[in-house]
Amino acid sequence: MSIDKILLDHGSGGKASHSLIADLLVPEFENPILAELNDGAIFDIEGKRLAFSTDTYVVDPIFFPGGNIGDLAVNGTVNDLAMCGATPLYLSVGLIIEEGFSTAELKKILKAMKEAATKADVLIVTGDTKVVPNGAADKIFINTSGVGPIPEGTNISGHNASPGDKVIISGTIADHGITILTQREGMAFESPIQSDTAPLNHLVCEMIAASDQIHALRDPTRGGIGTSLNEIAVQSKVGIKIYEEAVPIREEVSGICELLGFDPLYVANEGKLLAFVAPDHAEKVLATMKANEYGKDASIIGKVVADSPAKVFMKTPIGGTRIVDMLTGEQLPRIC
């Protein structure tokens, strides 16, 4: 696919993003580590397996119910490392600040970053700050990178999902994306809605301690669970079957999605994970997740199948089957 100009769609996490990565970025930097296309790079240094990840945050608005761009940036990189099975240890922070930005707001963001790092048990050990002229950025953009070791015997990858695996979601979907949407559009509802931004590394550590049969993990951020499931299906060359009634979603979030025409399967999450677990270990892992504050609403939502490789489909409550493709277009730009 030829890409003449960069569009907002290329930041959606969906088909356009994957085209940008596969057709433009990966060929330029081609190497075996990058080719894995997991949430972070996994490599060996002197016999030690490490994971390394980086992400940049441009969310609008920068303050929202449940968090702000600061804790979002810390949690996002912590979670990307955790999805590799790693124990996040050290983070870097890069700030791009627009001239005229309020120092009081900057202090709030930095405080949130510190609190998030403390909660995740990681240290922010290096960074960089740039200031650009007024109008050259939108308030503040934040990059975080992180590194951490992968425990011996842990082998978690988007390539490892196997037929028979149960698919588990750690909680309700679409909370973050709908929070950002309603804040951006100035919508007010009787039921409070807030972002699910949270560090998932301790939850993952407990899951790994409970079972050595966790094959793949993914945090369904941009593009939602629909896109993340497709990524795993393609990487592992398997089919994935989910059940609509089993996917947890808050009633108020579901209502807003229906009202505005959004499909919650493609709405971003910032504190949820998908786990692919061997069938005889699934209930044990599910119970472990439910005992953690960030997994209390966890649910088995489907399974991996041998037929229909690289396809995701969903059984509806009336018994029909719906193909769940990767997100096409941009539902909501700048949600992280």
In a domain, 11, yes or no: no
Last residue within a domain, chosen from 120, 149, 178: 149
- Is it the case that residue 269 has pLDDT exceeding 70? yes
- Residue 72 falls within a domain, yes or no? yes
Q: Which of 93-97, 109-113, 149-153, 329-333 has the lowest mean pLDDT?
A: 329-333
Buried b (16+ CB within 10 A) or exposed e, 86-116: bbbbebbbbbbbbeebeeebeebbeebbeeb
Backbone angles phi, psi at 241, to 5 degrees: -115, 120
The CATH number that applies at residue 36 is 3.30.1330.10
Q: What is the pLDDT of residues 150-194, one digit of tens each?
A: 999 999 999 999 999 999 999 999 999 999 999 998 887 777 899
Report residue 12's pLDDT band, with 50, 70 and 90 as the boundaries. Answer: confident
CATH number reported for the structural domain that contains residue 299 in this entry: 3.90.650.10
**Region of poorest pLDDT, from 1-10, 163-172, 294-303:** 1-10
For residues 98-120, average pLDDT = 98
Residues 125, 178, single domain; the answer is: no
Q: What is the pLDDT of residue 310?
A: 97
Domain boundary among 116, 149, 182: 149
Q: What is residue 1's predicted lDDT score, i.e. its pLDDT?
A: 56
Q: Which residues contact 162 (CB under 8 A, 6 or more apart)?
A: 215, 236, 238, 276, 278, 304
Phi and psi at 294, nearest 5°, equal -95, 5
336 part of a folded domain: no
The three-point CA angle 77-82-88 to 5° equals 65
The answer to whether the CB of 182 falls within 8 A of the CB of 256 is yes
Number of domains in the chain: 2
Q: 191 and 296 share a domain?
A: yes
Q: What is the CA radius of gyration of the chain?
A: 19
Q: Compute the Cα dihedral for 188, 189, 191, 193 and give only its sign.
A: negative
314 and 200, same structural domain? yes
pLDDT of amino acid 328: 83
If one compares 11 and 296, the residue with the highest pLDDT of the two is 296
* Residue 303 β-bridge partners: 166, 241
Task: Please check whether residue 15 lies inside any domain of the structure.
Answer: no
Question: Is 232 within 8 Å of 274 (Cβ atoms)?
Answer: yes
Phi-psi region of 329 (alpha: psi -120 to 50; beta: other; left: phi over 0): left
Same domain for 133 and 171, yes or no, is: no
**230: in domain:** yes
The domain boundary, picked from 149, 175, 210, lies at: 149
Same domain, 177 and 285: yes
Residues 111 and 210 in one domain: no
- Asked whether the predicted pLDDT for residue 285 surpasses 60, the reply is yes
Q: Contacts from 127-130 at CB under 8 Å and sequence distance 24+? A: 127/92, 127/93, 127/94, 127/95, 128/92, 128/93, 128/94, 128/95, 129/94, 129/95, 129/97, 130/94, 130/95, 130/96, 130/97
Mean pLDDT, range 255-272, rounded to an integer: 95
Q: Clarify whether residues 306 and 200 are in a common domain.
A: yes
Same domain, 121 and 179: no
Q: Is the pLDDT of residue 137 over 60?
A: yes
pLDDT of residue 73: 98
Q: Is residue 120 part of a domain?
A: yes
Claim to verify: residue 279 and residue 180 sit in the same structural domain: yes
- In tens, the pLDDT along 13-58 reads 888 888 888 888 999 999 999 999 998 999 999 999 999 999 999 9
Per-residue model confidence as pLDDT tens digits over 67-87 = 999 999 999 999 999 999 999
Q: What is the pTM of this model?
A: 0.96
177 shares its domain with 291: yes
176, 309: one domain: yes
Query: Domain range for residue 53?
Result: 31-149
Residue 134 resides in a domain: yes
Token digits for 270?
Answer: 């910032």
How far apart, in whole angstroms, are the C-alpha atoms of residue 139 and residue 62?
8
Within a domain: 14? no
88 plus 203 within the same structural domain: no
